[in-house]
Amino acid sequence: MRAHTGDALLVRGHHVGDHDRQAVIIEVHGSDGAPPYLVRWEDGHESVFFPSSDAFVERMPQREKTD
């Protein structure tokens, strides 16, 4: 799995009735976009996250810097 700062992270629920969880990657701690990631979850808390097979990264378009 490879990600960039600002990408969205989606974790599927494991059981019937479980909600999917969403986060934004705010730091990439591995080399070349590899995990672990520091993420901010929808409820605002932050954690270091090691994704498993139920997690997906959605690339967000990179914003161009304006001087």
Structure tokens at 28: 């990439």
Model pLDDT for residues 6-39, shown as the tens digit of each residue: 999 999 888 888 888 999 999 999 999 999 999 9
Instruction: 27-35: list long-range contacts, CB under 8 Å, 24+ apart.
Output: 28/3, 28/4, 32/2, 33/2, 33/3, 33/4, 34/1, 34/2, 35/1, 35/3
CA distance linking residue 26 with residue 24, whole number of Å:
6
Q: Look at 56 and 64; give whichever has higher pLDDT.
A: 56
